[in-house]
Structure 1
Amino acid sequence: MMHLIDLSELTAQRGRFDFFLEQVRSRFGFDHVAYLGANPVAGTMHGYVTYPEEWKRLYIQKAFHLIDPTLTIAQRSISPVDWSRLEQTENFRKVFNIAHDFGITSHGLTIPVRGPYGDTGMLSVTLDTSGHEWKGRIASAIGELQSIAVHMHDAVMNSDAFSNVLRHSLLSSREIEILQWTAAGKTQQDIADILGISHRTVEVHLRSAREKLYSLTTPQAIARAIALHLIYPI
């Protein structure tokens, strides 16, 4: 069951996105949460982070965004990237040897998001804890974090008026129905029994819905469908 923080309830564009990240940080107990998105339609880039101001200034000054593998590698991924995969790379050490001086841990996760017009986004979370504790925390939160990543990305991209006009969905009534049951916590077999169709048919409709909603996972598709008011949160 997903309970998304509703960005539409917040006001003042930059303020609402910053506040949203603070809500996510507080809710999950993370040290920091960051979002970076690029919109080729409007020719804009968007960044919102909870990192200290001193680190933000130094990061930009040293152009770390050009080499930081938590961005450069994660941007090319189709699944969440745990930073432990990146620790042995030279650029990771170059960035995080300095980041540690600002109290920023190298325990992190970046969740990539894709949009329908080439737009991309990445939501990153960090927590200074043991490896065992970190894995457990992420395992329990990954589904909701993927939904939050899509929710944040779509809200930021839709803040560009041109992109907002272009965005639409062509989901069939059956795809919407199956996404709604999935959002309610039903398994694919449950849905097949409820609708009187095969498990395979449910799977096909979910795959089609993910493709139409430009979502990498079913939780991301559900989050995007909720944001588009195609289905409702349960």
Structure 2
Amino acid sequence: MITLERQSILNSEISAADSRLEIFAAMKRVAHEFGFRHITLFAATRADETLLSRMIVETTLPVSYVQEFDRRRLLKLCPVAPIISKSALPYCWSIDDPESVRGFPVPVEMDELQRRYDIITSVAMAVHSIDGGRFMLRFDGVRHRLSQVELNEIGMIVLHAFDVFDKIRRSARTGTAGPLTTRELEVVRWTAQGKTSSEIGRILSLSDHTVNAYMTNAIKKLDCVNRTQLVAKALRLRLIV
């Protein structure tokens, strides 16, 4: 299928999606069209996060792979995240490439695990929600590295798909009466991203006292004892992603 035809068909499917299930189904089609087996949407929750499972919003990766990845605590060894976070462009690499081509070393434990699950070539791209959320879309499978034309194409499709996903996500959150107010959710969301009360205050144009008041209210409403438990529970309840 020629590039323009493929992009038109995939974008039509993405535009027609009106639920998270449908948008992810469309993205699985994108993965298939580009020769990938798996697709994952990650949410960047905390800078010191140690478990991959807590970052996953949607994925087709085997549960056993994620469990072993976390059991070995491989997230702290991952060399890719810093590269992705510094660019708005899709980044492609293969563990079969020499390090000089790939651009980074792959830890032996990660190399072994990925080969066992046929995760050889990957493409990842950082995307951002208009409410400040940071996410990453990643494709994995067994194929040769993408050409620049393919990278450009998949980058445009990812931006379109995430825009649709984000609208669905924010609409669902707005339409569901949750236990926290909009301001409380904003404070919790920024806390999940590792911001201090002072930093959140500057971002939201609030005083430290007001930020702490919102945080205290949220802790009480969700029956938590501290900020760490609050963030974990808010993530589990899907109040924030």
Give the secondary structure class of the aligned counterpart of 1:103. coil
Give the CA deviation at 1:63.
4.0
Task: Render the CA deviation track for 1:94-145: whole Å, top value 9, x for unaligned.
Answer: 323222122221x22212223444322222223424xxxx24x432322221
2:228 counterpart residue number: none
> Residues 45 and 16 of structure 1: is their aligned pair in 2 closer, same or farther, counting only changes over 3 Å?
farther
* 1:26-175 superposed matches below 5 A: 26-38=32-44, 47-84=57-94, 88-89=104-105, 91=107, 93-105=108-120, 107-129=121-143, 134-135=144-145, 137-158=146-167, 159-161=169-171
* 1:195-234 superposed matches below 5 A: none
Give the CA deviation at 1:5.
4.4
Give the CA deviation at 1:55.
0.8
Q: Which runs of 5+ in 1 are unaligned?
A: 167-234
Query: Scaled by the length of structure 2, what TM-score is found?
Result: 0.51
Aligned residues: 155
> Residues 90 and 22 of structure 1: is their aligned pair in 2 closer, same or farther, counting only changes over 3 Å?
closer
Query: Scaled by the length of structure 1, what TM-score is found?
Result: 0.52
Give the CA deviation at 1:160.
2.8
